[in-house]
Amino acid sequence: MPELPEVETIRNELAPWVVGQSFTKVSILDAKLVCGCSAEEVHRGLIRQKVESLERRGKYLIFRLSNGRSLIIHLRMTGSLLLDPDEDTRYARAVFHLSNGHRFVFNDRRRLGKMWLVDDAETVVCKLGPEPLDKRHTASVLRERLSRHHIPIKAALLDQCIVAGIGNMYADEALFAARIHPLRKADELSPAEVRTLHNDIRRILRAAICSKGASVDTYVRPEGELGTAHFNFKVAHKGGEPCPVCGNPIERIAVQNRGTYFCPRCQPSGRVPSI
């Protein structure tokens, strides 16, 4: 699934092509893509509207339009936005033509992605937690939000209402860096552990954005290139491989039905005493 670094990369690379341009033609090829209204309403609502800005909130892309409305896209598991693909894509669900002659295609093999056209973007993203890279999202804020939840810390990091944008891969990487077992309870982490986790989340997400995201499955950037963030992964998707720190085999367990990778030696199930 595209997570915060992948969605931010898409935003960064698509924005120069779409911001300031108007929609000249919109083809919704899969009506199930659209939430809250019909495909025809989306078509009528976008034609001749200019994209004033392209923003990201959590894992959502928000196209702010000249009439004050917003087109919102969530790529879910296998969605991608492809700029001027050379040929028709097999899994295209929508095609957007722009006034500069370019087009971008919502491609989605598993048809799980969603799209909204709304008067107020907050109606879609209002339940999201704070952005992990926002300067206002301090370690104290993270600790306060985690303290409300007696659930595994891995599950808490995946809960978009607690903190927005973190997904499976980067939760595993952050917990490994912070030496926290994924089944530790979120409300039982010490202040020092939360500070370390907070710093590692920010560092890992920033590095992944610099590497243009992780292409471990279907994720590609708008012009078809791959991201390289996965080359820096220590545990994510590395079950059975030796831990890069201690050499112990990386284990895989399920946390709320999500595959979770960790090192049982570097991430003990109990709290690590402060040194």
**The pLDDT of residue 1:** 77
**The pLDDT of residue 275:** 36
For residue 270, which amino acid is it? G
User: What are the Cα distances from residue 8, in Å, to 1, 3, 30, 136, 239?
Assistant: 13, 8, 25, 19, 27
**The pLDDT of residue 271:** 65
Q: In the chain, count of helices (H) and strands (E)?
A: 7, 11
Rounded-to-integer distance, Cα 56 and Cα 64, Å: 11
Please state the domain extents for the chain: 4-125, 139-262
Query: 4-125, superfamily in CATH?
Result: MutM-like, N-terminal (3.20.190.10)
**pLDDT in tens for each of the 275 residues of the chain?**
799 999 999 999 999 999 999 999 999 999 999 999 999 999 999 999 999 999 999 999 999 999 999 999 999 999 999 999 987 678 999 999 999 999 999 999 999 999 999 999 999 999 999 999 999 999 999 999 999 999 999 999 999 999 999 999 999 999 999 999 999 999 999 999 999 999 999 999 999 999 999 999 889 999 999 999 999 999 999 999 999 999 999 999 999 899 999 999 999 987 655 43
**The pLDDT of residue 89:** 78
User: Which of 146, 226, 135 has the alpha carbon at shortest distance from 178?
Assistant: 146
**The pLDDT of residue 270:** 74
**The pLDDT of residue 272:** 56
Write out the catalytic residue numbers: 2-3, 59, 258
**The pLDDT of residue 88:** 66
**Can you give the length of the chain in residues?**
275
Query: Do residues 151 and 239 make contact, with C-beta atoms less than 8 angstroms apart?
Result: no
**The pLDDT of residue 26:** 97
Task: Give me the architecture of the 139-262 domain, per CATH.
Answer: Orthogonal Bundle (1.10)
Query: Do residues 222 and 82 make contact, with C-beta atoms less than 8 angstroms apart?
Result: yes
**The pLDDT of residue 218:** 87
